[in-house]
Structure 1
Amino acid sequence: MHSTPSTGGDKDPSGSGSPHCTRTLIHPGKETLLWYDPWLINGPIAQSGLLIADALGRHAFERVEHILLDGQRWVNRTHDPALDDRWEEIQATKIHSRIQEDLVVWAPTSSGKFSLKSAWDVVRGGCERKEWYNLVWFPHSQPRFSFVCWVALWGRLPTRSLLARWGTVIDPTCYLCGNAVETTDHLLFECDFSSAVWREVLSLNGFNRNPLGTWKDVVEWLVSHFNGGSLLGSVRKFSFISSVYRLWQERNARAHLKRPTINCDGSVKGGFGGYGAIGRNYRGEPVFALAGGIQESDVVCMELHAIRSGLQRARVFNLSQVQVRSDSQVAIQMVVGTYKVPCGVLWLVEEICELRDSFRSCTFIHHVREINCCADYLAGYTSVAQIIHFDLHNLPLILSEMIQNDAKGKVYSRM
């Protein structure tokens, strides 16, 4: 059995610092190369600078059995100085009489069996566990949340300030607020958008306080307050890593998509139907807002009217890429073709599909009602058969406040 040395495990005495991950258990030594295999604890005998040549009595394919007498004890028959230099180590090497042939084992584990965890530990080397380790890695966490949070805590998120230093972007302005340089500290804590998120997260976890002064201060405080293995401790830690992940996800959505969104909603009250739609750019600023009403008692029909009107208005503003959001899962499924369309609204769905095909990119997603408040407000705005296109400089005060809250990342509780 010919095994070659590899990284990990016991250190290489040659001074290279390269460790060996495999070791060979000897008996009877017929399968292991004397000079090249890592059968000694400090690695192969043939270290850097040692010449292996037949003229010196050192045969490249010589086996360990050459220095074993009757498979029971070590003997240096040739008194080779290279063997003499390692003789104490050779004599200290156990001869495993209970095994039938030489056996290669994985040195970093006590069982001798290979595992990815032990290989990773060898590759990364020893280091102190960070004080925030249990805040990020804990049972029942979501791996992708933990990973993004781990990268953030190491300061390795590719923010615009970091990308600017690398020369890949020119403008380092924060995607979430547009008011400051996008560093990790700013993006995840100092930004108005993320600060509003953290205030809500702290409040939902029972801490009625404003966030601390810096991202480092926040993490230190969280380590001492979001701890323990209880259900409450796990929920608090999960709220932290999920918030970091969602902030980064929102940042990336604005950075890479930059597509306007159209929030749509429909409602029926007393046999009269209302619908509303609001289009916003990636910063959350309104592009258009409309409200309408017709004599109709089918709420799904009104949801479809809202989607159609929103897409029609988007075409007026020459938007080429949009994402349509509705709190009606049935309406979304009808449009994307996963729900059978009733005859009464077939014409509406067909018109929506025609409008969809006129955009370079048009996607439809379902949003829960609690985060669709602007469109919900517009759907109940009028009680007469009409359509209103709002002046963005003279919006109703309540609607303006809702738009500002959404742009700042307000968290809405699910009813």
Structure 2
Amino acid sequence: MAKDHICYLVGNENEIDLWNQPWHPKGILTSLISKGKTDSSLVTLSNLNDIHHEGDWNPILDKPSLKEEKALLMKAMFNTDNTNRVIWKPTVDGTFCTRSAWESIRSVEQTIPWSKTIWFKGHIPRDAFVAWKALHLKLTTKDHIILSNSTIDNNCLLCNSEAETFDHIFFQCSFSSWVGRIWMERIQRIFEQKRRHKIQILREILANIKIKVNGLPLQDEDTATRKWIAENLVYKHICKINHHKVSTWFKPDEEEFKVNTDASLEEERSGIGGIIRDHEGLPILIFSKDTCSDQIYALEMSAIYLGITRAREMEIKKTWIEFDSLFAVNVIQGNTPMPWKIYSLVY
């Protein structure tokens, strides 16, 4: 396959074996010219220099019996700097690169309509890969696994009432009919032995909807739809919006990201979380975590640490961190004595 994309640029004929080296664009000369059928005067030559020297071809090629051989040989490519080079034809400068190799051998098909839905700028690789597999019906649901292991139980892990198939999990399961993020919950139940109540998952979904509706920029073509979602689904039926104050969110520089973190402490529960946005203000990741701490300063520092960790997992190199805890600012700057409970988070 590679030989179709390379050719020789001959500069020093003395180094080239006339018959056994691939100096000709069409390949090795023995595969192009039969020695038993061509003129013997050509067969006796062994070096390319014998037939081509300093830009001139050997006069023996003017023989009528070598007319076809001459036409073939004159398609060779010669270099003027006295060096022999291997040229990678797919690139302009003849230098090999992996991308050009892939572009030259891959099969180019028509772009599918949902490609930008999966592979967009700032996508989360793990989530995009799962979505891509789902659209190709290649998720490892039990109806696929049972083909190689007939001993497993094929009941759905979520509702435990019907056979587990792609259509069942996403469209028919009584558990998934009203709860999102089904696949991640299933993975946690299988590999991490973690189970969340439906209400916990629902709260996470509603928080994501609220942030996305508030954070995504409206476009002319989807303003009406987005407005309807905000007014009829999110604000009226799901989210309780408190209009206490107006805050200004400053966008990070281009190709940089901003992490906003916060913490919450109530009588019987606490939690931390945040959001990562790109330079256009588009949310690319929402994260949260239940905690058992009863100290708000420890929660604030834990939220910052979690935000930095999530950014590193996404291989984000330039990150702004934004939070509303003056205590955390003073601790990081060394202006406030550090409680021992958060020492490990800072150092």
Q: TM-score range by the shorter chain?
A: 0.3 to 0.5
TM-score for both structures, normalised by structure 1: 0.39
Structure scoring higher RCO (CA < 8 A, sep ≥ 6) equals 1
